[in-house]
Amino acid sequence: MSLPSKPLLHTYRAPWVVPVVSPALPDGAVVVDNKSIIAVGEYSDISRQYPDIPVSFCSGILVPALINSHIHLELSIYGVVHPPTQTGNMCDWIKALLQIRENAVFSPGEIRAAAKKMARKQYDSGIGLMLDIGNIDLGMFHSCPVEIHSLYEMLGPSEDATQAAIAAIADLPVELSVTAHAPYSTSAKLLEFIKNRCRKHGQLFSLHLAENLDEGLLLSKGTGCFAQFLKDRTGSDSPFPIPGIDSSTVVGYLQQLGIIDSKTICVHCVHLSDEEIKIIADSGAHVCLCPGSNKFLSVGTVRLQTLLDHGILPALGTDSIASNPNIDLWQEMALLQEEHPGVSSENIFSMATIGGARAIGREIEYGSLEAGKTARFLHIQGVEFEDVANPEQLFECLVMNGQPDSVKWL
| pLDDT at residue 137, rounded to an integer | 86
Helices (H), 171-224: 188-201, 213-221
Among the listed residues 383, 376, 374, the one whose alpha carbon sits nearest the alpha carbon of residue 406: 383
As a whole number, mean pLDDT of residues 64-90 equals 91
Range with lowest mean pLDDT among 6-10, 26-30, 275-279, 348-352: 6-10
Domain boundaries, the chain: 10-64+369-409, 66-360
Q: What is the DSSP string of 112-123?
A: HHHHHHHHHHHH
Q: What is the pLDDT of residue 248?
A: 92
Residue 63 near residue 369 (C-beta atoms within 8 A): yes
- Cβ contacts of residue 326 below 8 Å, gap of 6+? 292, 318, 332
What is the pLDDT, as a whole number, of residue 360?
98
Residue 60's pLDDT band (cuts 50, 70, 90) = very high
CA distance 236 to 230: 7
Question: The CATH number of 10-64+369-409 is which of 2.30.40.10, 3.40.50.1470, 3.20.20.70, 1.20.1250.20?
Answer: 2.30.40.10
Band of residue 144 on the pLDDT scale cut at 50, 70, 90? confident
Neighbours of 391 (CB within 10 A): 16
Q: Dump pLDDT digits (tens) for 69-80.
A: 999 999 999 999
Reported confidence tier of residue 6, pLDDT bands at 50, 70, 90: low
Q: Is the pLDDT of residue 3 over 50?
A: no
Give 266: exposed, middle or buried? Use CB within 10 Å, 0-12, 13-18, 19+: buried
Is the CATH code 3.90.550.10 the one for domain 66-360? no
In the chain, the percentage of residues whose pLDDT exceeds 90 is: 90
What does the DSSP assignment read for 353-396?
IIIHHHHHT-TTTSSS--TTSBS-EEEEE-GGGTT--SHHHHHH
Query: How many C-beta neighbours within 10 Å does residue 304 have?
Result: 22
Neighbours of 377 (CB within 10 A): 23
pLDDT at position 1: 45
pLDDT at 4 exceeding the cut of 60: no
Q: What is the mean pLDDT of the chain?
A: 95
State the Cα–Cα distance between residues 279 and 296, nearest whole angstrom: 28
Question: In sequence order, what are the residues at sequence separation of 6 or more whose Cβ sits closer than 8 angstroms to the Cβ of residue 46?
Answer: 11, 13, 29, 31, 39
Tell me which DSSP letter residue 351 carries: I
E strands along 286-350, which residues?
286-289, 315-316
* 267: Cβ contacts below 8 Å, ≥ 6 apart: 70, 206, 207, 208, 209, 211, 287, 288, 290, 317
